[in-house]
Structures are given as structure tokens and as C-alpha cells.
Amino acid sequence: MTEPNDLSSDVHAQVEQFRQQIAVAREEIGRAIIGHREVVDGVLTCMLAGGHALLEGVPGLGKTMLVRTLSEVMHLTFSRIQFTPDLMPADILGTTVIDETQHGAKAFEFRKGPIFSNIVLADEINRATPKTQSALLEAMQEHRVSVGRQTYTLDEPFVVLATQNPLEMEGTYPLPEAQLDRFLFKLYVPFPNREELHQILDLTTGESQGRRREVLDKASILAMQKLVRQVPIARHVQDYAIRVLQATHPEGPEAPEIAKRYVRFGASPRGAQAVLLAAKIRALFEGRFAGSIDDVRAVALPALRHRVLLNFEGEAEGIKSDQVIEAILKSVVETKAGMKDAADKKGVHVGAA
């Protein structure tokens, strides 16, 4: 693992600038969004990783406001798609129309849909049919859209922030596993406590606050995304993330009893990618230029909870995927080989256990 003293002054400056930019963005978002620090950090993590987030919570908790505020603070284009049962894929991607030129000739013209924005709010995504939900698959994974014989590249940065209501399930279409796997994080938006409710009421029943101050821009975000990819991850940290991933599978060598009994399918390799990218970003949030096992543990829940699928017995007994992941984090320990490898790089001797 890279030690702080080994870093160049240029890298030190980049890490410190990254941390300060995030602090300013948090502060500005906090002027409109009360509480929800973990949710805000989760959404920022998805943006910086070039990934997407699924926000789950009851109506009225500020999910839409959070997404809109994020676009204002980062000075990015924003579009909102209200998902309904009659929404069609063309309503998201766009459609080709026959237009008349100034000379009277007929020509085909592609008119872009709301997916062509930097930040796309997919509101109540589980209310649309699977056919319409699948229209997002290519855009989320490849950051491009294919319409007919043409392929259009989406402008970077590009992030889909989808919301769903966990209470009203009548008339909804649960997201298929392939769609869920495209989300870097699944974030639960909690109900605010009493003090936070006071602040929310003071903010929303007083004078209008107007737009948020723009503290970042497209170039800054792309530079931050590039820095994230440069953060090193020691081999033993990566090995730990892999072993956690393997333990989500009931047949995995380190799967705890709760996983063997209640899990139908574990997380895909995208889960390990999400964990490591998020661990790198968490390290930068704290001013470090190296991901650690503590970073992996901290991001495991939002990165894996939607990728661990319970079997019938688990659902019948009310088991939550978070319980499975928490049990895995307790049962999977850092290997002695990994500890020795890390200690050797630091010049520290690791004795027998």
C-alpha cells in the first residue's frame, strides 16, 4: 500500500483539492437537504465512479430534491422522467421523425429523449413495464444509446439516479436482476429525526431559497473521476473484497450459515468492481491515496445489498440482504498472508497468530 510520505507533492495537492471540493459540495447540498449524510455521500460516490444509484424510500423524504440539488451544485444538465405503466422506450431514448427541410424535401431527424442529460432522475422506476425499464440497460452500462442503425454516445459525466417507493407495490414491476446489477449503489433514504424535521420545516415553510450555488463543473468532475481510477488498492485489500463477494454465494468457501440457508444467488463480479471503486472514493473523501479494508467494509452494504438475492425461505422469514452482508463482514477476516504482505511493504514483521 502506498504510504502518505511516499506520495509526490503533486498527488498530495490533487488529493487535498479533491477532499476540499467534496467538502464544499456537501456543504452546499446540505443547505437544501437536511441530514441524509450517508445518502449524499453515496450519490456523490456514484457520480465520481461513473456509476448509478437506486434510492429507496417513502414519498416526501427529499429524493427528487436531492437529485435536482446535485445537478445545480455541479452545474450539470438535468432531466426528470416520471415512470408510469404507459411510458414507452421512445419516451426515454428519443425517436426518429420525418421532418421537412427549408427546400421542401423530406428527411429523417432523430430527436433526443431525456436520457441525453448528465443527470437523469428516473422517478418511481418500478412503475414502468419491463420493456421500458430495459431501455435504460445499454445507456447505464455502455453510456450510449442505439436507435435503429445509429448509435449515439452520451455526454459525460452521465449518471442515472432512480427512485422507488417500498410501500405501494400494487401496479409495480420489480426491477429484474440484470437491471439491478447496473446500479453501483442501492441507498435507503431514512425518515428524519425530530431535530431534522424542525430544520426541514424551517427551510421549506419560510422564504424561497432559490437555486443552489454552483461549486463544481463538468471539467472538475471528469478530473475527479480520473483521479479515482489512479488510487492504488493493495493486493490483500482486493483479495479481501473478492472473498467477501465469494461469501455472498451459498456454495462459497467462506459463506456463513445465514448465506447458505437463505441466499439464492450471490453478487456478480460487478459487485466487486463497485466495492473497490467506492473504497477508492471513500479513501479520497478522507484525504488518503490508498484504499483499505476498512473502506471495503464501509461500502459493502450499499454496493452489494441489491445483488444478494434471497431464496423463498429467506423472504418468508423476513430476512434482509443487509443481515446477510453484515454476517459475511463479521465472518470473513483478513488472511495472514494478506497481513504479512502488507507488513512486508511497510517493513514491519508479523509474528505468528
Question: Is 60 exceeded by the pLDDT of residue 351?
Answer: no
Average pLDDT of the chain, as a whole number: 86
Return the CATH number at 145. 3.40.50.300
Q: Are 211 and 278 within one domain? A: no
Last residue of a domain, one of 230, 258, 285: 230
Q: Are 68 and 147 within one domain? A: yes
Over residues 252-268, mean pLDDT: 93
Question: Is 50 exceeded by the pLDDT of residue 140?
Answer: yes
Q: Are 11 and 64 within one domain? A: yes
- At residue 33, the pLDDT reads 83
Question: Is 80 exceeded by the pLDDT of residue 350?
Answer: no
The pLDDT-based confidence of 263 (bands split at 50, 70, 90) is very high
Q: Are the beta carbons of 310 and 327 closer than 8 angstroms?
A: no
Domain boundaries, position 348: 232-353
Q: Are 236 and 216 within one domain? A: no
Q: Are 272 and 218 within one domain? A: no
Give the integer Cα–Cα distance in Å for 129 and 133: 6
Last residue of a domain, one of 203, 230, 257: 230
Residue in the structure block whose three cell numbers are 451459498: 250
Contacts of 160 (CB under 8 A, 6+ apart): 52, 53, 120, 122, 136, 139, 140
Over residues 116-120, mean pLDDT: 94
Last residue of a domain, one of 175, 201, 230: 230
Lowest mean pLDDT among 89-93, 144-148, 283-287: 144-148
Question: Is 70 exceeded by the pLDDT of residue 310?
Answer: yes
Residue in the structure block whose three cell numbers are 421549506: 204
Q: Are 164 and 59 within one domain? A: yes
Per-residue exposure over 310-347, b if at least 16 CB sit within 10 Å of its own CB, e if not: beeebeeeebebebbbbbbbebbeeeeebbebbeeeee
DSSP 104: S
Question: Is 70 exceeded by the pLDDT of residue 73?
Answer: yes
Q: Are 50 and 192 within one domain? A: yes
- Domains: count for the chain: 2
Q: Is 122 helix (H, G, I), strand (E, B) or coil?
A: strand
Is residue 22 within a helix (H) or strand (E), and if so which, with residue range?
helix 9-30
- At residue 171, the pLDDT reads 65
Give the integer Cα–Cα distance in Å for 242 and 251: 15
Per-residue exposure over 45-80, b if at least 16 CB sit within 10 Å of its own CB, e if not: bbbbbbbbbbbbbeeebbbbebbbbbbbbbbbebbb
Question: Is 70 exceeded by the pLDDT of residue 51?
Answer: yes
Q: Are 203 and 335 within one domain? A: no
- At residue 31, the pLDDT reads 82
- At residue 232, the pLDDT reads 94
User: Pick from 213, 225, 218: which is nearest to 69 by CA?
Assistant: 213
Return the CATH number at 292. 1.10.8.80
- At residue 252, the pLDDT reads 86
- At residue 108, the pLDDT reads 77
The pLDDT-based confidence of 168 (bands split at 50, 70, 90) is low
- At position 135, the amino acid (one-letter code) is A
Torsion of CA 160, 166, 262, 269, to 10 degrees: 0
Q: Note the pTM of the prediction, 2 decimals.
A: 0.85
With vertex at residue 10, the alpha carbon angle to CA 224 and CA 283, rounded to the nearest 5 degrees, is: 50
Q: Are the beta carbons of 81 and 123 closer than 8 angstroms?
A: yes
In sequence order, what DSSP letters do the residues of 293-323 get, joined into one string?
Answer: HHHHHHHHHHHHTTT-EE-HHHHHTT--HHH
CA distances from 146 to 138, 143, 191 (A): 8, 10, 39
